[in-house]
Amino acid sequence: MATFKEFRNNVKPNWCPGCGDFSIQAAIQRAAANTGLTPEELAVISGIGCSGRISGYIHAYGLHGIHGRALPIAQGVKLANRDLTVIASGGDGDGFAIGMGHTIHAIRRNMNITYIVMDNQIYGLTKGQTSPRSAEGFVTKSTPSGSIETTLSPLELALSAGATFVAQSFSSDIKQLTALIEEGIKHEGFSIINVFSPCVTFNKVNTYEWFKENIVNLDSFPDYDPSNRIQAMTKLMETGGLLTGLIYQDQSRKSYENQIQGFKETPLAQQDLALTEEQFDHL
């Protein structure tokens, strides 16, 4: 068993001082230690964006992938070595714009992966353009008269795509975030955790103060039942998607890889996948 310090490496993050991504990095390291993992049992796969750098800042296996493609790579890693705990990570632009096709299908496929989205409601790395998560009317260099597009509601979309674990948190609430990542790692199947992570340099609207005033913590609803999908959808809609906590969990569905014949015994990378002559004749 490792301490969270063992998930640190000597690479100094080059995020702007105050960026929400620092706390997400710390929460992943703490959650990994709390779930009893060692660095060699964890793989962190990221996409492109400020958020994508995270795989280089955690002492574990890691791959800084290509834009919007963290999830296909993460699923390949999991299929090749089922013994690894796989965390995929990226920003809202990465996962909900160019990567949205992969996100939806990864959700419905339900592989045993935890996907952490660092949602700052803007493109940070390219110096501040409107993302699918930006609010209507949001003014940036790409929408100087204000965005006229509808804001994407990723967790409503996740619920309708058949997600088995849906959570949301705020980078400042590191206690809640760490606990949710731990739950996501333990969940059998795909867990999506959207994390509000303020971009202090380019997003002057959705600031720490703005989130503190507007987010609604599920702790204020003691009767809330996270196994009720309709209630989850309703609460998300009622709160304008600003709900934090464990929003939905379905523990009845098996993960994708645990339904593949022989996968439990032998990882795909070690299986003989060549067709027999008879199978070949049937092609």
CB 91 → Mg ion: shortest distance, Å? 4
In 3-state terms the chain splits into helix, strand, coil percentages (rounded to 5) of 35, 15, 45
Nearest residue to Mg ion by CB is 91
Of 16 and 63, CB closest to ligand SF4: 16
Contact partner, 139, from Mg ion, ligand SF4, none, Cβ < 5-8 Å per class:
none
CB of 19 to ligand SF4, least distance (A): 3
Binding region for Mg ion (CB under 5 A): 91-93, 120
- DSSP class per residue in 165-221: EEEEEETT-HHHHHHHHHHHHHSSS-EEEEEE---TTT-SSS-HHHHHHH-EEGGG-
201 binds, among Mg ion, ligand SF4, none (CB under 5 to 8 A by kind): ligand SF4
Contacts by 151-155, CB closer than 8 A, 24 or more apart? 151/241, 152/96, 153/236, 153/237, 153/241, 154/92, 154/95, 154/96, 154/103, 154/117, 154/119, 154/192, 154/194, 154/241, 155/192, 155/194, 155/236, 155/241, 155/247
Residue 92 touches which member of ligand SF4, Mg ion, none, C-beta under 5-8 Å by kind = Mg ion
| 93 contact, one of Mg ion, ligand SF4, none, CB 5-8 Å limit per kind | Mg ion
SS3 117: strand
SS3 at position 100: helix
| Residue 132 to residues 48, 86, 205, 271, Cα–Cα distance (Å) | 16, 26, 15, 41
Least separation in angstroms between residue 15's CB and ligand SF4 is 4
Residue 90: CB partners within 8 Å, gap ≥ 6? 46, 47, 48, 49, 51, 52, 68, 70, 99, 117, 118
Binding of ligand SF4 at residue 201 (CB under 6 A)? yes
Q: Does 31 participate in binding ligand SF4 (rule CB under 6 A)?
A: no
Q: Is 200 an interacting residue with respect to ligand SF4 (CB under 6 A)?
A: yes
Instruction: Choose which of 124, 184, 189, 241 interacts with ligand SF4 (CB under 6 A).
Output: 124
Interaction between residue 199 and ligand SF4 (CB under 6 A) = yes
**By CB under 6 A, is residue 104 in contact with ligand SF4?**
no
Residue 93 beta carbon to Mg ion: minimum distance, rounded to whole angstroms: 5
**Touching ligand SF4, residues 44-103 (CB under 6 A):** 50
Minimum distance from residue 124 beta carbon to Mg ion (Å): 6
**Considering the rule CB under 6 A, would residue 15 count as an interface residue with ligand SF4?**
yes
Contacts with ligand SF4, residue ranges (CB under 6 A): 15-16, 19, 21, 50, 120, 124-125, 199-202
